[in-house]
A and B are shown apart, each in its own frame.
Chain A
Amino acid sequence: MTLRNLPAPFLRRERTVSTMMADALFALALLLILPTVQYGPRALLQSLAAMAACAVCDILYGLVFRHAFGSGDPSALVTGLTVSLLLPVNTPYWLGALAGAFAILIAKAPFGSTGRNLFNPAAAGVAFVTVCRPDLVFTYADPAAGWLPLSGDCAAVTAASPGASLHAGLKPSILPLDLLWGMYPGPMGCTAALVLGAAALFLLARRCIRPESIACFLLTAALAAALFPRIACPALTSVKYELLTGSLLFCAVFLLGDPVTSPRTTVGRCLFGVLAGGLLMAMRHTGSFEQAACFAVLIADAFAPVLDHAAIRLRAKGVRLP
């Protein structure tokens, strides 16, 4: 028998980084079901294109700069799938691939890959393509028009999303509660609020994401929506519209709940959620894009280490913070 010399403790870890990434992939894959049913296999091909671009960039970067095969865990695939779910189905395949490549090569790899990145790579990738080609990113296919062709540039019947109507100051033509089912134009994975809720519960139960930042973010966004509605309607209707349109829920669960880029202290995470919520609602009121969640997430990510520092220093002074 050949015996190995390993250090203590000799226990099987119940969670490794790879299993947590697998959980995240599963939750994201749940969100692919509805778009595939609505728009056809093009949704799957979009995801594959983005994931392939991320994986290739990760592997190449690892081979060239660190003499390793990629970063050692499937986080690049998670980034690719997240990026594709934030973009519409009818975009050309190279858009998702460009966003994925930017996410890995600029927002993740130079900072040190998994665990060391300051900004959420998926948010950075989507933000980049939003600034480059907002016309492509904000043109959504009408789900009532049936399945989309699989070729690269697809001429789809487009429709305005409820987010665009709100941005223009008009009441969306869809009832607020119908927004739950996800049968309206919008980014691929951001429309089905019920499936998002199920995915969030799954990830919370597996402890892959932390609830404090998500809860504070949603509360702040709801409060801002109630106090400063963009359209003339009761406060509750405004809250329902604001929370259920756009990529707010998706970004709350998958981008803000990301343990690497959010602060590590509980107090820091709560403030992080509040900051992101405030920024997002401000951008929705005054910004030029109808979906601004990725930008809000990026700015809040930049403040995450500051919040952690402040919490640790307060704790060192003796203030009992959770």
Chain B
Amino acid sequence: MITSLRGYRTEDRRALSLREPILTLPASGTLVVPLPGAEEGTARLVRPGDKLAAGQRLSLPRRSAPAHAPAAGVAEEIEFREMAVCGPVWTVRLRTGGERRASPLRPLPDRPEDEDVLRAAADAGIFDEMTGRPLFQELYRLRRLGAGLLLACAVEDDPWCSSACAVLREDPEKVERGLRLAAVACGGAQIGAAVSTRREEAALRRARPGLRVEVAGRRYPARAFLLRRLRAAGVSAGLIGPQALCALADAADGLPQTSGVITVSGDGVKAPRNVRAANGTPARALLEACGVSEDVSLVYAGPAWRGSALTDPDAPLPLHARCLTAMLHAERRRQSACIGCGRCGRVCPQGILPWQIHESLRGEKVEPYLLLNVQSCIGCAACTAVCPSGLPLSAEVSRAAAIRKSGDFL
């Protein structure tokens, strides 16, 4: 019995960062550009010391999207390192300088076919910031699943992040153009936009009358609830980030994706706003552009539910990082025993009982048939967020799912 009261009500702190328009930070200094999927040596196209032009292709991985240089300069070093949001990845350290521009990519024809759009998305190296995966893979997946509705997702699922809303607000016409191209790639799906609140819906209807708008609400995980509601109404929907859609519209004109919009906010930032920064900009540049206080004790990149804390303020951020939040007081998460309050079971959108999984895994012998429903976990981590005892319930549920999947329990 999954009722509509599940989920976790988050606070809405986006208003401050949405007051100002998006600030474009010029690419300067040193950028560390990630090359996702470029584990093979032949996938990496640059060597240390190479002079690079802005927009030059840096990698050609077999199963991911290529990366392009955000600015002209010199490739100082190619190294394998850990990067926030991306994980361990090959990177190019680029010292910016010079004005060389690479030749543009092949633009799309006037009436593109679905394969043309997919090729353009792949060539431009576009990443969907909502899922963190290349856009062409996401479009391919939606086409395979037969998605009938594509929504530009401005549902943030984070208290501080507002980058998707800002992109949608800045140029809704470009987002719609990208949506139409994505719909072509998915075999002629309908298009629309998804927002969190009724106020945003009204604003969007004023800006783009005629565009279908769905309201997802503020209960986390709002995206999952929206998709479930649409599926219950018989509509198979897919959510794509507005930044990726804008990049798709640009790719139709031959421009690769080299920058992303990141929300810099939190109570440790004096002037929170959205910043358009080049791929691989160090976090310090973003924080200083918005006035960070010296007393911050926690800086994390990515949404609050699955972001990663940065210990080095010079750590580079990829273009699909979505947000960078600086907090003055980090809550010390002290673990104690489960007190049986039942909040985790009430909050789970999939009807799992994380407290029961925790009890089962605590004993010596685990009975896998008692790990009920764990395969349906969507990894939203709402259970970890509400637990008063600070238990890592989301990790335990994924561990239980791994035990069940392994079949190693005889």
Contact = CB atoms under 8 A, between A and B. Distances in A.
B384 A315 contact: no
Interface of B: 1, 10, 159, 292, 294-300, 302, 304-313, 325, 327, 330-331, 333-334, 336-343, 355-356, 369-370, 372, 381, 384-390, 392
A59 to B, nearest CB: 16
A283 B305 CA distance: 51
Contacts of B372: 312, 315-316
3 shortest interchain CB distances as A-B pairs: A115-B337, A259-B340, A10-B304
A48 to B, nearest CB: 26
A3 B340 contact: no
19 contacts: A1-B313, A3-B312, A3-B313, A6-B309, A10-B298, A10-B304, A10-B327, A11-B304, A11-B385, A15-B341, A16-B390, A17-B389, A115-B340, A115-B389, A207-B341, A264-B342, A264-B356, A312-B370, A320-B1
Contacts of A20: 339, 341, 388
A9 B384 contact: yes
A8 B330 contact: no
Nearest to B306: A8
A72 B356 contact: no
Contacts of B369: 316
A151 interface: no
A113 interface: yes
Contact of A3 (B296, B306, B334): B296
Contacts of A10: 298, 300, 304, 307, 309, 325, 327, 330
Contact of A259 (B159, B330, B341, B370): B341
A4 B268 CA distance: 14
Nearest to B329: A12
A14 B386 CA distance: 7
B299 to A, nearest CB: 5
Nearest to A117: B337
Nearest to A321: B1
Given A9-B384, A10-B304, A115 B1 contact: no
Interface string A1-30: 111111111111111110110000000000
Interface of B is mostly: loop
Nearest to B297: A4
Interface in A243-270: 259-260, 262, 264
B381 A114 contact: no
Interface string A195-226: 00000000000011010000000000000000
Given A3-B311, A15-B388, A115 B331 contact: no
B159 A11 contact: yes
User: Which of A5, A8, A14, A208 is packed against the most chain B CB atoms within 10 Å?
Assistant: A8
A112 B339 CA distance: 12
Q: Please tell me the size bucket of the interface on A.
A: 35 or more
Nearest to A20: B388
Contacts of B309: 3-8, 10
A13 B327 CA distance: 15
A264 B294 contact: no
Contacts of B389: 16-17, 115
Given A10-B304, A15-B343, A112 B313 contact: no
Nearest to B367: A316
Contacts of B370: 312-313, 316
Given A15-B386, A73-B336, A115-B337, 13 more contacts: A3-B313, A7-B309, A8-B300, A9-B306, A10-B309, A11-B10, A11-B385, A13-B390, A17-B336, A17-B339, A20-B341, A264-B356, A312-B372
A10 B338 CA distance: 20
B73 to A, nearest CB: 28
B340 A264 contact: yes
Contacts of B310: 3
Interface in A268-322: 312-313, 315-316, 320, 322
A72 B339 contact: no
Interface string A91-119: 00000000000000000000011111000
A1 B385 CA distance: 26
A313 B311 CA distance: 45
Given A72-B336, A115-B389, A260-B340, A12 B305 contact: no
A96 to B, nearest CB: 25
Nearest to B346: A207
User: Which of B300, B312, B355, B390 is packed against the most chain A CB atoms within 10 Å?
Assistant: B300
